[in-house]
Structure 1
């Protein structure tokens, strides 16, 4: 997509607002600007009252917005303050990455919008409200790669990537990133594989290389909805849906009944207190491990393939116990 001057200036402000700013040469490469045009754009932005800082010399100089720049004229309600707090806490698993840093900066810029009446409460939110973390993935050493993934996604640049599967086998891909999703404190990329045209799910931490093709563009289909990609998933990994039926013992029936496991689920209370759960989902490792977590308190009725997978897993466990 070809950007006009106004669109370029909006995106320039977004980039300057990142911690550490952006180098002049990156501006020129990204927006196809010569030095003279870049100076004119920056002059126009300054005339709008933006506090632009220009440090260094030549193409490698850093251009950024003054850190003291704040949004003015905004007042947050107490529920909005709490929403910001919870939003940040849900992304603690990204600590150490540019994304987390940018999120902290954004919330910091909103602090002046917190009314004085709520200021004391806002300072004590960490003790009053808490999001208990799951077993988060560690992205502290992947900041540059995550930044490349997000930039590729936002500016619709394809990428050449190397991806190591769970079994350790690595493979090269040319990808068109559609959506970055979070699931159980992990990051997953929904991307179209140019080799076969299929939309696939990639765990971000398994990318060993991710190189954005800055001069190329792709278009996300107008009818694309990320919800459709995971509609049949029992979690984040999708596949062909099959009818699954499982009966849970009475002593765990309430544990199963109190949650929405899948949008297609149906619950049936049996006369002996047991609970039958039926749903149409993909047969994935996520589903298998969830059922194994109930050990002998669940009986899977169908499909036969899932029944056999559970039997094999239980037999293996018994053999290891001797």
Structure 2
């Protein structure tokens, strides 16, 4: 344990202590000599202005009247926290397709400065932390910032929207409710004033976004969850049915650890296969996930979902029969 971590550990020990702590105990917990304990205590008291009372013989502690108000100056992290911050810094710098990079550049600079301050001359092996974005979409940074600002400032929002399913372009005026990050992409949950209903918009399909002067209409959180949060995935609407899917014993090792839905139910079958039951409102996204497992997955119920899966597999097979 280096001096930096000893000072941090010493602060935490004294801050949590209800009674004076002996030097012998500090030696044991900090893993250092008696002289080192005295030097660290003196540095904490004299340089960092910690409210230390007592002496080495009777034990030391923080002044009870001051301990609740005292914090170490600056940001102090132990090695585990520092390593976690290092990984977060890499995630920040390498993911997101650049949409957050400029907005969060000041934060990233502070993280890098903090890492350098506590590197003690070492060169961090940054190449050991890898971040590989998967199927992210290109976002217009201006539109993304405008959408986020409207959500937080509770202002109505106007934008041009091109639906991915129909490629139809429409103008929308909405009261933004919340912004949702799902599967490496961003979605806007909003009250659509022209259609008088809740809708979800893929932010990468939003263009010419501008915040309006009017205050947004707030929809109750419970209503948002009922309409937008209870169905499978990002698709809105209450669940219409419950799917039963059986995965091979090989695929079970992955599926058993996956979170598909907040109300899913899973169990291993006697032969090692895995049965997953979950509610869904729109079959399209559910089938995309099921078909990802190919022959290792079989839709059992409901019959309509099973027929849709068969149709999709037959259509895919026909592409290879020419």
TM-score range, shorter chain: 0.5 to 0.7
Determine the C-alpha separation between the residues in 1 that align with 2:206 and 2:221. 28
Corresponding residue SS for 1:102: coil
Does 2:280 align with 1:281?
yes
- Aligned residues: CA RMSD: 2.8
Equivalence map 1:148-297=2 (5 Å) = 148-166=146-164, 167-213=166-212, 215-221=213-219, 223=221, 230-241=228-239, 242-297=241-296
Using the alignment, how far apart are the partners of 2:174 and 2:222 within structure 1?
16
Report the TM-score, using the length of structure 1 for normalisation: 0.67
Residues 230-260 of structure 1, C-alpha deviation per residue, up to 9 Å, x if partnerless?
Answer: 5334332233312111112223222211222
Are 1:84 and 1:107, in contact at CA under 8 Å, matched by a contact in 2? no
Q: Does structure 1 retain, via aligned residues, the 8 Å contact 2:232–2:281?
A: yes
In 2, Cα distance between equivalents of 1:251 and 1:150: 42
What is the distance in 1 between the residues matched to 2:176 and 2:264? 30
Aligned equivalents of 2:197, 2:226: Cα separation in 1? 14
Q: Distance in 2 between matches of 1:232 and 1:292?
A: 22
SS of aligned partner of 1:148: helix
Q: Which runs of 5+ in 1 are unaligned?
A: 1-71
Structure with higher Rg: it is: 2
The separation in 1 between residues aligned to 2:244 and 2:234, in whole angstroms, is 20
**Which contiguous aligned blocks of 4+ residues in structure 1 show a shift greater than 6 angstroms?**
none
Deviation at 1:79, TM superposition (A): 4.3
Corresponding residue for 2:50?
Answer: none
| Number of residues of Structure 1 aligned to a counterpart in Structure 2 | 246
State the Cα distance separating 1:93 from its structure 2 match.
4.1
Change in Cα spacing, 1:230 to 1:319, as seen in structure 2 (3 Å) is same
How far off is 1:266 after superposition? Answer: 1.6
Judged with a 3 Å threshold, the aligned counterparts in structure 2 of structure 1 residues 226 and 132 are, in CA distance, closer, same or farther, namely farther
C-alpha change, 1:282 and 1:154, in structure 2 (3 Å) is same
Judged with a 3 Å threshold, the aligned counterparts in structure 2 of structure 1 residues 88 and 298 are, in CA distance, closer, same or farther, namely: same
Per the alignment, residue 58 of structure 2 pairs with: none
> Which residue is equivalent to 1:75?
75
Question: In the aligned structure 2, how far is the partner of 1:200 from the partner of 1:257?
Answer: 32
Distance 2:116 2:75 in 1: 6
Matches of 1:234 and 1:211 in 2, distance apart? 30
